[in-house]
Copies of this chain bind each other. A is one copy, B any other.
Amino acid sequence: MTQHIPVVENILNANDRLAQANRARIEAAGVFSINILASPGAGKTSLIEKTLPLLKGKLRVAAIDGDIATSIDSDRAAAAGAGAAVQINTGGTCHLDAVMLNGALEQLDLTQFDLLIVENVGNLICPANFKLGTHKTVLVASIPEGDDKPYKYPGTYRGVDVLIINKIDLLPYVDFRMDYFTQGVQALNPGIVTFPMSCRTGEGVDAWVDWLVGNVHR
């Protein structure tokens, strides 16, 4: 009888166990944490840049930015006012995992912060498979990506807690059927918390910031 060796399952289990440890560590420090997912260029870093100035004086924020190369994102987070900004360079790996987040947490004194923002690698597929231990997962969709993305990337749309629809200022210039997009989202993730937004014009950012503040003070 052939022996079944569930390697992939074990890797994920190991990741999930470490994600639980990350969560315990984050909660022990009284921090609320989010994991931001998106395609390349949907606006994860721009979202952080728009969010941080509005949190000044309200919340102390640490940012952890994942990328396969460069420190562009953590530099932008630091410039926007993050109290600490840690860059994870994955060296080619297409997602963050709980081990990487664990290593980044080692570099932070979490007790000095209220909110931890983790920016994942730009990828609409793989990051959804690896829990990090954060409280909420936030997906940034963007108008110019097109209205068929929920249908084509169902795993990611199904598994997130919050949806930001970014770049709504481009709606007049592209072919995007909001009803078709929304229908796809609702089929996969009914009632998901949604924020239409433009990180370029600032429209819709306030409601998102209120949501963050509300979660920290819950």
In the assembled complex, how far is the CB of residue A57 from the closest CB belonging to chain B, in whole angstroms?
28
B173 & A125 in contact (Cβ 8 Å cutoff): no
Q: How often does this chain occur in the complex, in copies?
A: 2
Chain B residues within an 8 Å CB radius of A154: 68-69
Residue from A72, A125, A148 whose CB has the most chain B CB atoms within 10 Å: A125
Confirm or deny: A208 has a beta carbon within 8 angstroms of a beta carbon on chain B.
no
The distance in angstroms between the C-alpha atoms of A191 and B125, with both chains bound, is 31
Chain B residues within an 8 Å CB radius of A92: 125, 155
- A128-152: which residues lie under 8 A (CB-CB) from chain B? 142, 144-146, 148-149, 151-152
Q: Which of A11-19, A26-34, A107-115, A116-124 contacts B (4 or more CB under 8 A)?
A: A116-124
Chain B residues within an 8 Å CB radius of A151: 69-70, 72
Residue from A72, A142, A144, A154 whose CB has the most chain B CB atoms within 10 Å: A144
Contact pick for A152, options B67, B94, B144, B145, CB 8 Å: B67
A153 & B68 in contact (Cβ 8 Å cutoff): yes
Pull 22 A–B residue pairs with CB atoms less than 8 Å apart, ordered by A: A39-B39, A39-B41, A39-B145, A40-B145, A40-B153, A67-B152, A68-B125, A68-B152, A68-B153, A68-B155, A69-B152, A69-B153, A69-B154, A70-B148, A70-B152, A72-B151, A123-B125, A126-B126, A144-B167, A144-B170, A169-B173, A170-B173
Interface residues of A (CB under 8 A from B): 39-41, 67-70, 72, 92, 94, 121-126, 142, 144-146, 148-149, 151-155, 167, 169-170, 173-175, 200
Q: A41-B149, A170-B170 are in contact. List 7 more A-B contacts (CB 8 A).
A: A40-B152, A68-B155, A69-B151, A70-B151, A123-B123, A123-B126, A173-B173
